[in-house]
Amino acid sequence: MTRISSDVIRGYNDTMILYLLWDQPSYGYEISKQIKAMSDEKYCIKETTLYSAFTRMEKNGYITSFDGNNPDTGKRRTYYRITDAGRAYYHEKCAEWQLTKEVVEKFIKKQGE
């Protein structure tokens, strides 16, 4: 199975994380599992990449963190929540992705070309 290179997708880690935080707060391990599952295991975000993204996005005001307990295990975790600025940033990144996809598609040869 072909996997996505972390170099290729690096600029869109924030988009994936913000998407997963859109409806409810979550924590690192759960977000990592969701990314892996939603990508059909074609992309597995590294823990260092994930926590670097959390730090950067929190610094930029796109997410906030808070301590909480996992309702299933009672274990303390750091949870993350999207902010209004994060929602706006998510929309910007989605528009950027559409443009990126449009440009790169012009350079992809189709089968048989």
Confidence of residue 113 (pLDDT cuts 50, 70, 90): low
Q: Averaged over 29-33, what is the pLDDT?
A: 96
The whole-model pTM stands at 0.88
Q: Tell me which amino acid residue 64 is.
A: T
Task: State residue 67's pLDDT score.
Answer: 94
Q: Averaged over 23-41, what is the pLDDT?
A: 96
What does the mean pLDDT of the chain come to?
92
Task: State residue 74's pLDDT score.
Answer: 77
Exposed, middle or buried: residue 89 (CB in 10 Å: 0-12, 13-18, 19+)?
Answer: buried
Which of residues 112 and 50 earns the better pLDDT score? Answer: 50
Q: Averaged over 87-112, what is the pLDDT?
A: 92
Distance CA 24, CA 26 (A): 7
Q: Averaged over 67-92, what is the pLDDT?
A: 91
